[in-house]
Structure 1
């Protein structure tokens, strides 16, 4: 559907990633879920989720080849091609190259309910970075992405710094991409990227949430000192903070009982203050000034609209005070004010 046939969505606050000039809305759309993460998602449902994000004012969209073996990029690109390109920011990732595979079956072992048509091959070489980006642009059907992130180089640290990062820096200097960085589920190596390279931003998933704040030790202070930006993914810790019930996931697996009990107690406290746990979880990262955006993964239009509603809720100071009083939030952890960031 063309954007001029639909009403404009409500404005969301936006911030610039470091000194790159690339702006992201404070609430971003993570496109792993629409690629069948954990359970299958139909084409129409995925398209409706992206349209709902646009209508909610979201203008930052994140994807990766890893998500659904390229399905996320294909679906996101198909939905965004109808939108004015200058009005949205798009990020994808490099480090995994997709190689055709005819062994059949599904990609369940990697967490996606899609046919296993390809294999993921780790490749943090300079050629691998360039090939991955070219393949991503083909799947997206777009002429450019704005931000490219090295994806999960945990076991490839030396090559990532020695080969992959310089390749990204060259692409940025050539104007092929506007901003570069890294995205991981840990904070240690991301802090090294901030200290040892000229990245514009990093994406930290699951390590700065209402449940855990490991990124506060080094990553976030380093980003603030360097004038760089941090994008927060996994703000619901794989869904636990969205719905802390038995069987909920935490860090991509079943939540341990002690972690589940902690999340349930958090929900009791926030709801006693009239605030859904989802709203507190979404707003929490903005207590730190280095945080530019929070990504929310949604598989349906309903989930997108709920995320936008929770994002705009006012979270009174009494919520944070009550969490601190029950030793569920440390005294030195920064918290946001009442206003939307």
Structure 2
């Protein structure tokens, strides 16, 4: 587990920094920096980035934002597994050398000499190498104090569960698979993490933006949403509306109802978006909302309700 004598438990809320790396649209650098400062001011102090986000742009902007911030005021996580080279597509870098080069580059861009968490990033097609080489390299760096905790960040709950079973991870970051829209991680990953004391960070809780604004053409898994998935999202919105609850509020608060989930990570590109997310996290939700969603067959009957 991450928490111990030296640090408190993971924060409940964090900022996903992929959007400030121009994930969906070009972001003004000043707006990006203000997004980070707003998140910290409002208590979202786990900051998650990766070299893969904008070929290093997310890390550079985050580093600029953090240059004037006390290092004790935030948790910082980045990722390894994909090397960046100019404007070319990221290339696999799951070897020990790849990990070391990746972290050196991340330290340079972020202006830090240590990380609270380092995740193995999307090793879907490189699971065996991640288990044999990437994770052991990070565990050694954890022992040396360069890395506070070792995790893995993926969209696949199945592969994350395999990594939890076969390695000594401290935490996992599961994107899009434990959300109000879909709860695939409920079957295997979350019970396994609870059993082994592996802390869970739930990310992608809007399913790439669909639950923030369900409409035709909205992004889902980084592609335009299929109609059947859109209809499910609209049904969720309808039932939330009956209780005068914004869909965004229910989506933000849902993952923390599971006892294995420690943190919800929400991406944002600007300060207004950050402030809206924080406000949605504080909206009171009636217990009957969850039971209505369950009765409508929109959430798994095994989901622990608040």
The CA distance in 2 between the partners of 1:228 and 1:18, in whole Å, is 11
The CA distance in 2 between the partners of 1:34 and 1:99, in whole Å, is 19
In structure 1, the partner of 2:266 is 296
The CA distance in 2 between the partners of 1:286 and 1:244, in whole Å, is 22
In structure 2, the partner of 1:253 is 223
- 1:15-30 equivalences in 2 (<5 Å): 17=2, 21=7, 23-30=9-16
Q: Secondary structure at the match of 2:113?
A: coil
Report deviation, 1:22: 6.0
Report deviation, 1:24: 2.6
The answer to whether 1:83 aligns with 2:69 is: yes
> Where in structure 1 are there 5+ consecutive unaligned residues?
1-15, 101-115, 337-341
Q: Secondary structure at the match of 1:271?
A: helix
326-335 or 53-62: which moved more?
A: 326-335
Q: Secondary structure at the match of 1:178?
A: strand
Q: CA contact under 8 A between 1:285 and 1:335: conserved in structure 2?
A: no
Report deviation, 1:132: 0.5
In structure 1, the partner of 2:92 is 122
> Where in structure 2 are there 5+ consecutive unaligned residues?
none
- 1:165-184 equivalences in 2 (<5 Å): 165-184=135-154
Aligned residues: 305
Report deviation, 1:55: 1.6
Q: CA contact under 8 A between 1:286 and 1:335: conserved in structure 2?
A: no
In structure 1, the partner of 2:39 is 53
The CA distance in 1 between the partners of 2:79 and 2:301, in whole Å, is 36
TM-score (norm 1): 0.87
Deviations 1:144-165 (A, max 9, x none): 2110000000001111111111
Following TM superposition, where does structure 1 have runs of at least 4 consecutive aligned residues deviating by more than 2 angstroms?
Answer: 16-24
Match of 2:118 among 148, 159, 170: 148
The answer to whether 1:328 aligns with 2:298 is: yes
Q: Secondary structure at the match of 2:230?
A: helix
The CA distance in 1 between the partners of 2:35 and 2:73, in whole Å, is 18
In structure 1, the partner of 2:186 is 216
- Root mean square deviation, CA, Å: 1.3
Match of 1:238 among 181, 200, 208: 208
The CA distance in 1 between the partners of 2:3 and 2:240, in whole Å, is 33
The answer to whether 1:133 aligns with 2:100 is: no
After superposition, the Cα gap between the structure-2 partners of 1:72 and 1:23, relative to the gap in structure 1 and judged at 3 Å, is farther
